[in-house]
Structure 1
């Protein structure tokens, strides 16, 4: 579980990132969560864009992505979801220590 300080740090780090996945009309599926998990292993921090034609609510999509990838939800802002998952082999982001 991320602390407020760690989430703030990750939001700042994600600010300049572009979304690398899009959730559209089909919603979240197994193949998409597998690809997002692989991307999280490489990058640790990603943005996912939710398109206008997506039938699901943005918070529902965010929760499905978190459950499917076992990642941490950093932020849902507009139609963009920011996810973080610590990489097992390729750790790049050093989070601020929690007390």
Structure 2
């Protein structure tokens, strides 16, 4: 993804509220399935990660990105913005370059 596309997606995500929250149980198969559904339906989502230290939080976000095949658009504090193009109905058209 180019920097222009990342900037565009950050702008699109600005008004979104976090859809899902990673809690004390960590990253479960059910959570990954929910994130997959949300990405397929919305393409651009925010998730909150409730981990106290930064390294654990970053590790969880990286694991979610790896398991879902999504692109990490932005990470601010406990919130991460993920993007993955829908297979069935594409809603967000990314700018070229």
TM-score (norm 2): 0.92
Which structure 2 segments of 5+ residues have no match?
none
**Separation of aligned partners in 1, 2:57 and 2:11:** 21
Equivalent position SS for 1:46? strand
Tell me what 1:91 maps to.
90
Equivalent position SS for 1:39? helix
Equivalent position SS for 2:45? strand
- Given that residues 24 and 53 in structure 1 are in contact (C-alpha distance below 8 angstroms), is that contact kept between their aligned partners in structure 2? no
Shift of residue 31, structure 1, vs aligned partner: 1.2
Deviations 1:11-54 (A, max 9, x none): 11000000010011111111111110111000000000112568
Tell me what 1:74 maps to.
73
Equivalent position SS for 2:92? coil
Query: Kindly tell me: are residues 14 and 72 of structure 1, through their superposed partners in 2, closer, same or farther at Cα, counting changes over 3 Å?
Result: same
**Separation of aligned partners in 2, 1:77 and 1:67:** 19
**Separation of aligned partners in 2, 1:67 and 1:11:** 20
- Given that residues 25 and 53 in structure 1 are in contact (C-alpha distance below 8 angstroms), is that contact kept between their aligned partners in structure 2? no
Shift of residue 57, structure 1, vs aligned partner: 1.6
- Given that residues 50 and 57 in structure 2 are in contact (C-alpha distance below 8 angstroms), is that contact kept between their aligned partners in structure 1? no
Aligned residues: 97
TM-score (norm 1): 0.90
